[in-house]
Amino acid sequence: MSVIVNVKVFADTSVFTKSLGERADEFRTFGERGREAGALHHQFAIGDGFVLVNDEWESAGAFEKFFGDPELQAFIGSIGADVNMAPEITVGEAVHSPDKF
């Protein structure tokens, strides 16, 4: 069974938003690496002072290995993340429910 992973990264959202356009190729590259590592779905959301990452992965271990990559961590820091604040990570087993859409 897959897992749902939510990551709250404290960040300068204006830097992050700007990077989505200016560094789109790097986002695509990391997206492809994620898919190769076991990511099934991926999406960002922006809040007041944070970026949310909403993913589905084949396993928690696959996510942890990918997220711990030093190159990815450097990229995250360079696109506005506050490197002095640890991200909040929540992982849960995905379940099917009658109301899923």
Per the CB < 8 A criterion, the answer to whether 60 and 91 are in contact is: yes
The CATH number linked to 37 is 3.30.70.100
Q: Where are the beta strands (DSSP E) in the chain?
A: 3-10, 39-47, 50-57, 88-93
Q: Which domain holds residue 58?
A: 3-93
Short-list 34, 92, 25, CA closest to 63: 34
Does 98 reside within a domain?
no
- Whole-angstrom CA distances from 11 to 57, 60, 96 are 23, 24, 32
**How many domains does the structure of the chain reveal?**
1
pTM above 0.85, yes or no: yes
Does 47 reside within a domain?
yes
Does 101 reside within a domain?
no
Per-residue pLDDT 10s for the chain (101 aa) are 899 999 999 999 999 999 999 999 999 999 999 999 999 999 999 999 999 999 999 999 999 999 999 999 999 999 999 999 999 999 999 999 999 89
CA–CA gap between residue 39 and residue 88 (Å, rounded): 19
